Amino acid sequence: MTDMTESVEKWGIFELALSGPADGNPFTEVSFGARFRHKNRVVEPDGFYDGDGVYRVRFMPDTEGEWHYETVSNVDELAGHRGSFTCVPPTTPGNHGPVQVHNIYHFAYADGTPHVSVGTTCYAWVHQGDALEEQTLETLKQAPFNKMRMCVFPKHYPFNANEPPLYPYVRGEDGQWDFQRFNPAFFQHFETRVGQLRDMGIEADIILFHPYDRWGFATMPPEADDLYLRYVVARLAAYRNVWWSMANEFDLMKSKHEADWDRFFRIVQESDPYQHLRSIHNCRRFYDHGKPWVTHTSVQHSDLARVPEWREAYRKPVVVDECRYEGNIEKMWGNITAQEMVHRFWLGTIGGGYVGHGETYLHPEDILWWSKGGVLHGESPARIAFLRRLLEEHAPEGLDPVSREGASKGEDYYLFYFGVAQPGRFLFTLPEAHQYRLDVIDTWNMTITPVEGTYSGTFMLELPSKPFHAVQARRVDS
Amino acid sequence: MTDMTESVEKWGIFELALSGPADGNPFTEVSFGARFRHKNRVVEPDGFYDGDGVYRVRFMPDTEGEWHYETVSNVDELAGHRGSFTCVPPTTPGNHGPVQVHNIYHFAYADGTPHVSVGTTCYAWVHQGDALEEQTLETLKQAPFNKMRMCVFPKHYPFNANEPPLYPYVRGEDGQWDFQRFNPAFFQHFETRVGQLRDMGIEADIILFHPYDRWGFATMPPEADDLYLRYVVARLAAYRNVWWSMANEFDLMKSKHEADWDRFFRIVQESDPYQHLRSIHNCRRFYDHGKPWVTHTSVQHSDLARVPEWREAYRKPVVVDECRYEGNIEKMWGNITAQEMVHRFWLGTIGGGYVGHGETYLHPEDILWWSKGGVLHGESPARIAFLRRLLEEHAPEGLDPVSREGASKGEDYYLFYFGVAQPGRFLFTLPEAHQYRLDVIDTWNMTITPVEGTYSGTFMLELPSKPFHAVQARRVDS
C-alpha cells in the first residue's frame, strides 16, 4: 500500500509501480488498473505489465487538488493498494495539457491556448537506434513542427530494409512472434521518445497500424489486435501529447475491414480516460470521418483546394497529414519541390485546414526524413516556420475560408493567398464597419511588406504580379 | 445561267452570286440554295442573302472531278441556274482540308495529315477595327497557335467597354435590333477574318453564342436564334478551317435551356454539308458531350490531370479550351503564371488531350489578348511552340495516356512528364521488345538533352531533380 503524499503537475503523469506475478502470461492472465478519485469523480485507467514482475498504472490528472486511488486486480497482491497525491498547477514550461478540438474546425490545448497544428512525418524514426534518433530530436529542436506522425510498428518498405533494434513482441519457442507477449523494452523505448517529443512541445500522432510490414504485425488475429490496442493505450494515454491515428493508409490493409477499424476506434475510445484526439489516415479512399469516434479528419490528398469541402463534409478539423513529400525520389508521392510543398501548406491554410510536411530526398544511406528522421535537407521547413509564426501571431485560433482565395478569423484578420496566380491587382472585400492595415506577403522569400494607409469595404489593391504571394488584413480599430 | 468551266481546288470555295429581289425581307422571305452533284452524289448547301440584291451560295468540294450544280429557290429568278466546275487537287500550300476526328481521341485533316491542336482565344478580336485586327494577324504569324476561339457576337465584359465597328443586325424603325435582318457587312468582315486565319493555317473555332452581352444577342427569341444559326452556317461552312462551338460558357446563359442547346446542335448538324467539328464550352458544368452531335469535348477546367477521365467518359477528343489564362488581372481565371500555363499544356498533353492558351495581362488601353488580340506579352507561347514542335515531330497523331506520368504513341514513342515533381531518378517501363533512345526535356528552358545509350523494358534512370522536366523515349529499332 502506498500512501505518501506526492505532488503531480496538472497534465503530468502520476505513475504507480507494484510487484506482482511474473509467471504464466501476465499480459493476458493478470488484470490490473486503478480507480482515481477526485471528490465524486472517478477515472479508471488500465494498468499494464512492464516485465520483470513489475506492474504499472499511469494517470494524467486534469484537475488540481487531492486525488485518491485504489488499485484493482484479479491478483490479490496487486489489488487494493491505496494512496493519494496532490495535483498542482503546471510547472513545466509549455505544459498546456492535451490538444483538443476547438471551435469545430480547430485545435486548442486543454488550458485554452490555441494550437496551430504544423505536423511532419517520420514513420519509423523510433526504430533507427539511438544515434539517429537523437539526431532526429536535435533536428526537431530547430524545426517548425509541433506534431510528429510516427508508427508503433517498424516499417518494411523501399528505403527501409533495416531491422529495428527492438521488436514489440517476443518470440515463442517455435521462433514465431508471440502476439500475447509484448516486449516491455520496446515500449519503454517508444514512450521515452514520446516523452521527449512532449518535452519539446511536439504532439506524438501515434500510428497504431500500417500496411508496410514483413514481420506479421499488420496481419495479426483480431484478438491480438485488440490486446495490442489496450496495451498501447494503457502505457501511453497518460502522455498529454498523444494523438491516436488508427492507421497509416488503412485502406491498403486488405486483411482488415470496415468493422475492424470501427472496433479499433471504439477500443481506443473506451480505453483512453483522456479522450485524446483520434483519426485514421487513408491512401485512396477516406474512412467515414463522420463517425462519432473520429475527432478530426486525417487526410492523404494532393489537392489542397478541397479542404473546405472536407470541412463541410464532416464538420471536424481537417488535417492533411500527407500531401506528398518534398524530395526527389522516384516515387511520385515523394518528389515535389519545396515550393510546391509550401504552396500546399498555404492552400490548406486558406481552406481552413492544417497541413503536414514530409521529406524524401535520396540519401546514400537511405536516411530519408519521412521514415527515419535524421536531418532535414529541404527548403520548405523555413517557409513553413514563417507561416506558423504568422498564424500564431495573427490567427492562432484558426482561419475559416471566406472565399476561394481568402480566409479569416471572424472580422479581425483576413488572409488571402494567390498561389500560382500572379495578380497585378485584386478586388478585396473587407467589412465596411472596420479599418484594416494590409501587408503583402511573399510566401517563398518570407517578406512582409506593409501597404500604406488603412482599408475598409471593397477596394482594388495593386499587387506585385508575382506568384506565391499573399495579403493579410489586420483590423486596427478597436 | 452560268455554265463556264471553272476550276476550284479541293477544299477551296466555289461561290455563285446571283441577283434577286432586294425588297421585302430577303433573309426570311427568299429561300435559296443549290444542289451540287458529282456522279451520283448530291450535296445541298444553303445559300444566303448578302445585301444589295445579291444572293450567294458557297460550296466546298471534297472530291476531285466534275461537279454540276443547279440552284433552288422559291423565287423564279434565283431558281434553276445551272453550271459546272472542275475540282482540282489542292493548289494552296497548307490546304489539307477540314480537320476531323481521328483515332477516337485525336484530329487529322481530311487528307490524312495529323492535326496537333494548339489553340488560343481572342473572343472579340474581329470587333476591334482594322488596325488592331491586323496587328492580331501579324502576331499570329509568329505565334504557335493553329486554332482561334472567336465569337460571332461582340463582347460585353470587364476590359470590353468599346462598341464594335459593325453589328450583326440592322435596327428597325423603332431603333431596336431587327433579328430578322442581318447586316451583310458584318458577316463579310467576319468571314474575311476567318479566311485570313485559314490562309495562315489556323482553325477558326467559331463561338455561336455567349452570355457576355449588352445588345440583346444573348437573349433573342428562339426563331431568331435558329435563323441566325442557319445564316451563319450558310455563309461560313464552306471555309475549310471552321469549327463550330455552340457557346462560350453555355451554362451561364440562363435564358437558354438544355433543349435549346440540343436544337442548336441539330440545326448546325443538319445545315452543314461538311460536318465541321462541333462542341460547346462550359463554365461550371459540362454539357453532355456524349450526345451524338458532339464531335469532341470542349472543356473549361483548371485541373488538367482529369483529361484521361473526360476521354473515357465520352470517348471523344478532349480539348481544354480554357484552363485559366496567363496574365495578371484581378480575376482568378486570368492571372496564372506563364510557368503554370506551360505546366497545364504538358499535363493535358500527357493526359491524351489538347490544351488552349489565352493571355490577360493588364494593359493601359485594356487591350488583352484573350478578348481583343493585339500583341502577346507572355512567356508561355515560346514554350507552347516548343511543345508543339516536339509533338509534331514525334507524335503528330496524338498521345494516349499509359500512366499518370506517361503517354505514348503505340510503342513508337513515349513521353513522361513530372510537373511539380523533381525526381532525382525514375523507374521507367518501356516494351521489352524494342530499343529506345531517351532525351531529358526541360519544358521551361526548352532544352532536349540526349541520354547515353539505348533502353528497353524496366529501368531506373537518373534525372536532374528539377521540376517541369519530361523524358521522351524514341523507338530506334525498326
- Choose the closest CB to B423 out of A303, A329, A420: A329
Give the residue-averaged pLDDT of A386-405: 97
Residue numbers in B near A304 (CB within 8 A): none
pLDDT at residue number B194: 98
Asked if A330 and B422 come within 8 Å (Cβ–Cβ), the reply is no
| Torsion over CA: A213, A215, A221, A224 (sign) | negative
Residue numbers in A near B422 (CB within 8 A): 327-328, 335-337
- Choose the closest CB to A460 out of B328, B330, B460: B330
- Choose the closest CB to A328 out of B327, B422, B460: B422
Q: What is the ipTM of this complex?
A: 0.88
The C-alpha of B392 sits at a distance from chain A's nearest C-alpha, in angstroms, of 28
CATH: 3.40.605.10, 2.60.40.10, 3.20.20.140, 2.40.180.10. Which one for B5-88? 2.60.40.10
- Choose the closest CB to B332 out of A303, A361, A421: A421
Is B404 an interface residue toward A (CB < 8 Å)? yes
Between CA A246 and CA A256 the distance in angstroms is: 12
Are A320 and A304 in contact by the 8 Å Cβ rule? The answer is yes
The C-alpha of A34 sits at a distance from chain B's nearest C-alpha, in angstroms, of 53
Is B328 an interface residue toward A (CB < 8 Å)? yes
Residue A2 has pLDDT above 50, yes or no: no
Asked if A335 and B422 come within 8 Å (Cβ–Cβ), the reply is yes
Residue A430 has pLDDT above 90, yes or no: yes
Residue numbers in A near B339 (CB within 8 A): 420, 467
pLDDT at residue number B4: 57
DSSP one-letter code for A334: G
Is B131 an interface residue toward A (CB < 8 Å)? no
A positions 356-385 inside 8 Å of B (CB): 361-362
Are A410 and A429 in contact by the 8 Å Cβ rule? The answer is no
Is A328 an interface residue toward B (CB < 8 Å)? yes
State the number of CA atoms in the 13 A half-sphere of A163 facing the CB. Answer: 5
Between CA A218 and CA A207 the distance in angstroms is: 12
The one-digit pLDDT tens for each residue of chain B (478 residues) are 444 579 999 999 999 999 999 999 999 999 999 999 999 999 999 999 999 999 999 999 999 999 999 999 999 999 999 999 999 999 999 999 999 999 999 999 999 999 999 999 999 999 999 999 999 999 999 999 999 999 999 999 999 999 999 999 999 999 999 999 999 999 999 999 999 999 999 999 999 999 999 999 999 999 999 999 999 999 999 999 999 999 999 999 999 999 999 999 999 999 999 999 999 999 999 999 999 999 999 999 999 999 999 999 999 999 999 999 999 999 999 999 999 999 999 999 999 999 999 999 999 999 999 999 999 999 999 999 999 999 999 999 999 999 999 999 999 999 999 999 999 999 999 999 999 999 999 999 999 999 999 999 999 999 999 999 999 999 998 7
Is B1 an interface residue toward A (CB < 8 Å)? no
pLDDT at residue number B229: 98
Between CA B90 and CA B64 the distance in angstroms is: 9
Residue numbers in A near B426 (CB within 8 A): 330
Mean per-residue pLDDT over chain A, rounded: 97
Asked if A330 and B423 come within 8 Å (Cβ–Cβ), the reply is yes
User: In this complex, how many residue pairs, one in chain A and one in chain B, have their CB atoms less than 8 Å apart?
Assistant: 79
Are A20 and A75 in contact by the 8 Å Cβ rule? The answer is yes
- Choose the closest CB to A362 out of B361, B404, B424: B424
Residue numbers in A near B405 (CB within 8 A): 332
- Choose the closest CB to A329 out of B332, B336, B424: B424
- Choose the closest CB to B404 out of A332, A361, A362: A332
Question: Where in A93-251 does DSSP place strands (E)?
Answer: 99-102, 106-109, 114-115, 119-121, 147-151, 169-171, 177-182, 203-209, 242-247
- Band (pLDDT 50/70/90 cuts) for residue A1 is very low
Mean per-residue pLDDT over chain B, rounded: 97
- Choose the closest CB to B336 out of A339, A421, A427: A421
Asked if A418 and B337 come within 8 Å (Cβ–Cβ), the reply is no
CATH: 3.30.500.10, 3.40.30.10, 3.20.20.80, 3.90.550.10. Which one for A99-400? 3.20.20.80
CATH: 2.60.40.3950, 2.60.40.3500, 3.30.360.10, 2.40.50.140. Which one for B405-475? 2.60.40.3950
Residue numbers in A near B377 (CB within 8 A): none
Asked if A337 and B420 come within 8 Å (Cβ–Cβ), the reply is yes
Among candidate residues A337, A341, A346, A334, the one with its CA nearest the CA of residue A305: A346
CA distances in angstroms from A47 to A20, A62, A237, A238, A278, listed in the order given: 12, 18, 11, 11, 21
pLDDT at residue number A4: 56
The C-alpha of B336 sits at a distance from chain A's nearest C-alpha, in angstroms, of 4
Q: For residues B112, B113, B117 and B122, what is the CA-based torsion angle, rounded to 10 degrees?
A: -100
Asked if B423 and A335 come within 8 Å (Cβ–Cβ), the reply is yes
Task: For A179-228, write each residue's pLDDT tens digit.
Answer: 999 999 999 999 999 999 999 999 999 999 999 999 999 999 999 999 99
Between CA B436 and CA B474 the distance in angstroms is: 5
Element (H, E) at A359: strand A359-360
Is B23 an interface residue toward A (CB < 8 Å)? no
Asked if A336 and B465 come within 8 Å (Cβ–Cβ), the reply is no
The C-alpha of A302 sits at a distance from chain B's nearest C-alpha, in angstroms, of 12
Which candidate in A304, A330, A469 is best for mutational testing of the B interface (most B CBs within 10 A)?
A330
- Choose the closest CB to B423 out of A328, A340, A460: A328
Asked if A424 and B330 come within 8 Å (Cβ–Cβ), the reply is yes
Element (H, E) at A267: helix A258-271
State the number of CA atoms in the 13 A half-sphere of B22 facing the CB. Answer: 8
The C-alpha of A137 sits at a distance from chain B's nearest C-alpha, in angstroms, of 27
CB atoms within 10 A of CB A242: 25
Instruction: Let me know if the fold of B99-400 is the same as that of B405-475.
Output: no
Asked if A329 and B427 come within 8 Å (Cβ–Cβ), the reply is no
DSSP A220-233: --HHHHHHHHHHHH
Give the residue-averaged pLDDT of A78-106: 97
Task: For A122-145, write each residue's pLDDT tens digit.
Answer: 999 999 999 999 999 999 999 999
Task: For A160-169, write each residue's pLDDT tens digit.
Answer: 999 999 999 9
Which candidate in A303, A323, A324, A335 is best for mutational testing of the B interface (most B CBs within 10 A)?
A335
Between CA B132 and CA B258 the distance in angstroms is: 37
Asked if B420 and A465 come within 8 Å (Cβ–Cβ), the reply is no
Q: Where are the domains of chain A?
A: 5-88, 99-400, 405-475
pLDDT above 90: percentage of residues in chain A: 98
Residue A443 has pLDDT above 70, yes or no: yes
